[in-house]
Amino acid sequence: MPAIKWPESGNPATDSITTMKFKTIVMAAGLALTTALAGCSTDGRMNTFLANNFTNNYTTQVDAGYQIPAVPISKVPRQFQRQTVSYKTAEKPGTIIVDTRSKHLYFVLPQGKAVRYGIGVGREGFEWKGDARIAMKREWPTWTPPREMIARQPELVKWKNGQPGGLRNPLGARALYLFNKNGDTGYRLHGTPEWASIGKAMSSGCIRLINQDIIDLYNRAEVGAKVIVL
């Protein structure tokens, strides 16, 4: 960076006064800039938005004694990685909106924002759409395959009374159970170790998220929250 050259008139007395004024202006400008930048870091709302706008928190995690493997996040398309986005909706904060077409799940925040997660959805013939509520939340849940699934995949009969929670459990680290006016829909928002399935239609109807993402959503969502599946 080149040195600042002070203005000169040829008159020593005048030059001395001019130089002092010029230095004062430069110092004031620097102070104003520093204050403005400091304002970005001390504004809670702005700080939260900048910190959460995009996350790389897909490292190894130990949860309830289970070691959740790190996700090779460079292999997951950026649009399916957890991030805070602008999102216009008439739904109140805390609502979950699942866009099965774009393969995104939105957790609505105040002020026109939402946390967006990449998801895997039901393959053809297993799609589900509608409104529901979160009736229960479970950590490392037991998975019980429906009778129809056991009929299609007889090898699952060993789990007819439930597969205990764990790293190989299809529900992953967390599950949010969706009920509507008719009771249990049979559908879940749940985790999966199969990070490569995110952004694809290959499940039996449930909405799956990367384990690190379902833990984040689980911590945000409340029992009774509205869930809209589009």
Catalytic (active site) residue 206: yes
Among 174, 188, 190, 208, the one annotated catalytic: 190
User: What do you get for the CA distance between the two ends of the chain, in Å?
Assistant: 55
H-run or E-run covering 11: none
Catalytic (active site) residue 40: no
CA-wise closest residue to 203 among 230, 226, 174, 170 = 170
Among 206, 221, 227, 229, the one annotated catalytic: 206
CB 20 within 8 A of CB 12: no
User: Long-range pairs for 182-187 at CB < 8 Å and ≥24 separation?
Assistant: 184/135, 185/128, 185/130, 185/132, 186/146, 187/128, 187/132, 187/229
198: Cβ contacts below 8 Å, ≥ 6 apart = 76, 80, 103, 118, 119, 120, 192, 208, 209, 210
H-run or E-run covering 33: helix 12-42
CA-wise closest residue to 190 among 219, 220, 211 = 211
State the catalytic residues: 190, 206
